A and B are shown apart, each in its own frame.
Chain A
């Protein structure tokens, strides 16, 4: 049995980690959080230069032609480092949409510039506070143009194009709309995690191009993206666990290191358990994604739920371990707490993924 990343993949992970550490991405996340910029353009161009955006794109479309296991290890490091870039939107969602469901001409037109990072894509799916379903999507595609509005579009104010879910006749499918097209209005929205920008988008007779249609494609897209999001969440969770440990080791109260109190040790042990379970489930997701396994819906939901739980546990208990300092703007704890919420919200809530998990087990009748 070889249920582990290969030596090459672990080396890539190491390179990614060292690069992101050198770039002081946590500081950069704070700068974006406090400033006017929507994302770190300099970091984004370096990430693209490293080839991370090109990882899973085939060579014929200007990519590196590596696999999803490579993308998983990069995702973990981006999550660990809080990199304030539109990577998840552009790579896990927009690039994947085109790779999986785009025509060859769409691929030719978009993948090379997505690989090089010149173009940024975003996924516009949510319309209200109710999670999107095949029945409640109101955006509509007709005769080559799209009407309707979306909210909470991550990186919506920086994307060059959107992949939009919309109904067309009796089906719901995915459509590509350029952000510069006539009839597209973009309004930034303030969020709980300003280190990642969000926008509301309105489409009024905006020119759109259809990808392969069908609700099942949207489900597949979300399942594939869920594995990659889970790795980002895993990286973030582990970073919080390590931060909490380091702080506890160096903090003295009642005449001793607070890391020697069982109340703190057991808290850290709980974080470790959550991270170990999430990591193991993420590996399962990585395996399913990289081998196009029929178990992907189950594996994706499992790692998504597990990684969301781990990040929640670790980011909130990291603040708790830091005591009052953890609640200050000055300390970095809140950057992770915010990002945890952002990643948990991005492709649907915990309850939705738990429901998907049980539904997929019912369908598979694996029991």
Chain B
């Protein structure tokens, strides 16, 4: 039992580190990192950085070389991720395209389409979004209603999507629709990719509880999609969706925000009732709990990496990461504000103010526990896929979709 690389892994790690050292600057502390002045600026910087990554062979590392990748092993991707986390480099914007749209295109698009669409994903020239959730289909995502009707070889799309991250700056989207409302829920779906500049697509930002707007509503009014942009067979949309949902679950990681280290250092510097907070037994107990959760996740990840290193596939056990870290973030954020006593309620947006970190965590955690699979859906996945327990009895099984009550009725 050790934490050491194999000689090949060590060689790869050195190569990655040296390339990064030559092309980016090291973080100066745990809280240091890349920040963009605005979303627009961020997008520009990400595209420049991604282009460079691609030119030197570090983009979409596990993809075939023909589409812009380097055909890396899973453990090489992990090592790259570990090394890149030491540097201040632009990030965001591309994950959905590269992590979810890319794999589904690779499985279902024609060779010609792959050659056209995959390389610009790897170079960062084109941004993609994922058009799945709807107002009446969140956790029950197969309950979508957006209508797709075929005439000749053109589909007409009408309906509404929601929670679409980055729709406002995306070039393309992957889209799941209902092509047969009289078929049972999972049977009548059809999957497409769509040009986000198509006439009839309207993107409206959703204001979140934090005041920011990372998501959108996307309205489709008589949007035309050629049948050649269908992915998978007509009626097979659920099967195609599962490919991307599986990739989404693998992509969702640790909740970002204040963690044990921040709470520990806060408690060591902040007075509570006349003495340092760290001397308060209730504070110590909470800190110990968070440390154990953080440590448990860290070493669970090491166990997964060890499995990758041996050439095995880690199981869906990794679903515990988001549940544990999302809830931990919510508690840590609440603690960080609580320790400021009554003053913790005062909102501050001052750059670098300790409070603002906990305030963003306070808002953010509420979203993390829902995004990419709620705590409850993830617990269903753990109990069904890891522990082998049966599905809950469904009231909508075998019934034509248009006879099933959905949403708020």
Contacts and interface: CB of A to CB of B under 8 A. Distances in A.
A305 B292 contact: yes
B323 interface: yes
Interface string A245-289: 100110000001101111011101110110011111101101100
B36 interface: no
B1 interface: yes
A3 B281 contact: no
Contact of A259 (B302, B310, B380, B389): B389
Interface residue SS majority, chain A? helix
Given A2-B1, A268-B389, A277 B380 contact: no
Contacts of B406: none
B264 interface: yes
A3 B324 contact: no
Contacts of B18: none
Contacts of B382: 268-269, 272-273
A249 B383 CA distance: 12
Nearest to A261: B392
Nearest to B327: A273
Interface string B281-295: 100110111011101
Contacts of A351: 281, 285
Nearest to A248: B389
A273 B324 contact: yes
Contact of A283 (B303, B323, B387): B303
Contacts of B305: 1, 3
A69 interface: yes
Contact of B292 (A262, A281, A290): A281
A55 interface: no
A358 B390 contact: no
Contacts, number: 155
B300 A277 contact: yes
Interface string A223-248: 00000000000000000000001001
Interface string B120-149: 000000000000000000000000000000
A4 interface: yes
B264 to A, nearest CB: 5
A279 B292 CA distance: 11
A306 interface: yes
Given A260-B389, A354-B288, A265 B309 contact: no
A1 B309 contact: yes
Interface residues of B, number: 52
A270 B293 contact: no
Given A354-B285, A367-B261, A1 B306 contact: yes
B1 A260 contact: no
A272 B317 CA distance: 9
B320 A276 contact: yes
A270 B296 contact: no
Interface in A1-57: 1-6
Interface residues of A, number: 49
B296 A277 contact: yes
Interface in B261-311: 261, 264-265, 268, 278, 281, 284-285, 287-289, 291-293, 295-300, 302-303, 305-307, 309-310
Contact of A262 (B4, B285, B380): B380
B392 A265 contact: yes
A1 B293 CA distance: 21
A158 B123 CA distance: 72
Contacts of A270: 379
B408 interface: no
Interface string A324-367: 00000000000000000000000000010111011001100001
B309 A260 contact: no
A265 B384 contact: yes
A55 to B, nearest CB: 16
A302 interface: yes
B393 interface: yes
Contact of A278 (B5, B287, B296, B307): B296
A302 B295 contact: yes
B338 interface: no
B212 to A, nearest CB: 30
B342 interface: no
B323 A273 contact: yes
A265 B292 contact: no
A95 interface: no
25 contacts: A1-B2, A2-B4, A2-B306, A3-B2, A3-B3, A3-B302, A4-B306, A6-B1, A245-B389, A261-B392, A265-B379, A269-B380, A270-B379, A272-B382, A273-B323, A277-B300, A280-B297, A280-B298, A283-B299, A287-B1, A309-B292, A357-B291, A357-B292, A362-B268, A367-B264
| CB-based closest 7 A-B pairs | A277-B296, A354-B288, A265-B383, A280-B299, A269-B379, A280-B300, A3-B302
Interface of A: 1-6, 69, 245, 248-249, 256-257, 259-262, 264-266, 268-270, 272-273, 276-281, 283-284, 286-287, 290, 301-302, 305-306, 309, 351, 353-355, 357-358, 361-362, 367
Given A256-B393, A280-B300, A287-B3, 9 more contacts: A2-B1, A3-B305, A262-B379, A272-B386, A281-B292, A283-B302, A290-B1, A302-B292, A358-B284
